[in-house]
Structure 1
């Protein structure tokens, strides 16, 4: 994976992870707070409804068929008036059958079983023990979220139940969708930002990479262009110093090769000169002397080559005294030999 793609991947992952984690925590805490508040409201509404004149002893004599009594009709009218606040309300007997409801008598008469409360036996028992209780939110017949609230009357057995809207989860769903859209937007913005930042870093690095390849191939005439930014600019300046250093080293190498060639040419010239003189002389002694000089020049040439090889090998310098009289005598003899062969 290229540096640009890794940069984008890290930035997008970080942005999505951060927004998702923060959004989930916010959604969870908001859901907990709203659920707790709705639960408290359900209990409070049930308790408030139970305290508006609902007396358990007035329902103890209600038996099936007593729906036309004044007590049942008055209580039914009171529950029916609560429909502006709660869709349904019930007064349940100790065995969880209907006593009075907000529905007409021909729909739910006294003593009618209420199967919808079979799922909430635990909540009903809790209400009879502690005074009130509430159920978890669920979807009603119209697909709206609702919740039961229960409050026990003064006899400890009769329970007043109300069905309340629990549409607080709809804003939570909206919040969840908004958080999801926010995560997607954060990912897109992070990708764009990462692409811009990666480009500002990668493009100079690519240019410097091409410069390094050019220097590696020996194209040293073009200077390294300065780059912006602290680190990349420092790298560009270092590469320019490297280019200049390579040029200086090449100049020194050429100078050294010229000097080596000059040092080799001098013994070769002496060899040629002494060999030519030895070939022309007829005296054995002089010829022997000239041949000895040829051998001396060859030995000097060999010393120069050995010195060059020693220079090429890394070694620690050693200090010591050198006798320069021998090289001076050899130079004088070489000059004398050259003067001897010059035409007068």
Structure 2
């Protein structure tokens, strides 16, 4: 996103800069060409007005040593030095008559002038004109030509005078072009830096907002967002997200207080009921009615378990970290779940070891919930596998069963409090386990197991995560 934003911010400026540079280049080149064309055309016209048209027109091949030719050559040479050009006279058919440096013989076709045949034809028709195409001379410089008609006393065009001039000013133009290119590159770099800075000023707060939203989504409602330093829309968005976090935290606290209050109110009478049921069981020992009392005590135990789950979920204390031997913790969890597993004819397998700094009691409760779910989902004569291993700085607990796997409805609502597919479940077991994982800075995930069943994977850091650096 940062790259896209930077491009979106910089691209219009860079395109505008490139367009301006190109336009300036073309305008400067055209101005230089127009100035050179005017200068060469004026030089050709000045030479045409100074030459004896009738004598020039009568020159024939082989007369290069005559006085007339020498006079014309001398006149062209003086004019050429004064105008800084090379001057020459040709017939309309582009054959030579005379030139200032004696390069051609009278009547010799000048092949190089083929490029300007249209301009020469226009000059022969009586119109001064400059060539459209620049050409490179033997010295490597660029040249341009101007043409003017040479008229006799009757105003008849008898020849064409040409003036070749070097585009010396184009050396300055090339320096100007290099300067323009340097400025364009510098502008592009500056624009990219400004765009990157602008992008960073927007994407960094957005990244913080995304991190905060993810924390809230994971259930971490205790960590506030960074202090507000902006008064723009992003600052307003930060305030809105912070208000939402506080509102969710207040709602959760209210709900947890309500749950804890209800659980406490119910637990005390349950304790009394269990006490009286125990006394009644002793009095009815050996009589048929004792079975009914045993059933009552069983239901009271189940109800007490529900109350304990409510209390566990309602408690919101941060983890108290200590060194935990993970293999011993798994063995303890298996021992707690053993009676339920035996009743359902399910075996428990435990493997793995290691050590992490974590809240042992919270992890134990979370793992007991996961193992109980796995045992209750498993058919008889199958095994629930418990394992732990260190992976990339995390302790990864896995609980594998051979049950029916995850259904579509369960997959969408796995960690939602009070969601359950069991007849007597509270729907708080997985929610509690996820709460423990989030509190440790870890994660809880459930997936279908290859070959049938479910894998519950609880990952927590081996050591407490470092606090985020202020940005």
Judge same fold: TM > 0.5, yes or no. yes
Note the 1:195-274 alignment, pairs <5 A: 195-229=196-230, 230-261=232-263, 264=266
| RMSD of aligned alpha carbons | 3.8
Structure (1/2) with the larger helix percentage: 1
4+ aligned runs moved over 4 Å, structure 1: 262-276
With normalisation by structure 2, the TM-score equals: 0.52
How far does residue 56 in structure 1 lie from its aligned partner after superposition? 1.6
Match of 2:98 in 1: 100
Question: Corresponding residue for 2:335?
Answer: none
Change (3 A) 1:251 1:103: closer
Closer, same or farther: CA 247–71 of 1 in aligned 2, 3 Å:
same
| Whole-angstrom distance in 1 between the partners of 2:211 and 2:111 | 81
When structure 1 is superposed on structure 2, of 62-71 and 32-41 the one drifting more is 62-71
Q: CA deviation at 1:214?
A: 3.3
Q: Is the 8 A contact 2:56 2:72 kept in 1?
A: no
1:185 — aligned with what? Answer: 186
Distance 1:153 1:265, change over 3 A: same
Q: Does 1:137 align with 2:138?
A: no
8 Å contact kept, 2:57–2:158: no
| CA-CA distance at 1:141 after TM superposition | 1.1
Post-superposition CA distance 1:7-60 (Å, at most 9, x none): 2333343333121111112212222232233222222221121112x2321224
Aligned to 1:26: 24
- How many angstroms apart in 2 are the aligned matches of 1:265 and 1:94? 121
Name which structure has the greater RCO, CA cutoff 8 Å, separation 6+: 1
Unaligned runs of 5+ in 1: 280-300, 302-311, 313-344
Match of 1:157, SS state, is: strand
2:87·2:162 contact (CA, 8 Å) conserved in 1? yes
Partner residue in 2 for 1:286: none
Unmatched 5+ residue regions in structure 2? 282-302, 304-417, 419-471
Structure 1 segment 1-344 matched on structure 2, within 5 A: 3-52=1-50, 54-84=51-81, 85-104=83-102, 108-135=104-131, 136-154=133-151, 155-229=156-230, 230-261=232-263, 264=266
The residue number in structure 1 matching 2:297 is none
* Number of residue pairs matched by the alignment: 290
Aligned with 1:153: secondary structure?
Answer: strand
- Equivalents in 2 of 1:15, 1:89: separation in Å? 48
CA distance in 2, matches of 1:65, 1:274: 147
The structural deviation recorded for 1:265 is 6.1
Give the alignment's TM-score, normalised by structure 1.
Answer: 0.69
1:95, 1:211 → 2: CA distance?
85
Q: Structure 1 CA distance, aligned partners of 2:64 and 2:275? A: 149
Structure whose residues are more often strand by fraction: 2
Name the SS for the 2:54 alignment partner: helix
Which of the pair has more CA radius of gyration? 1
Report if aligned partners of 1:152, 1:160 keep a CA contact under 8 Å in 2. yes
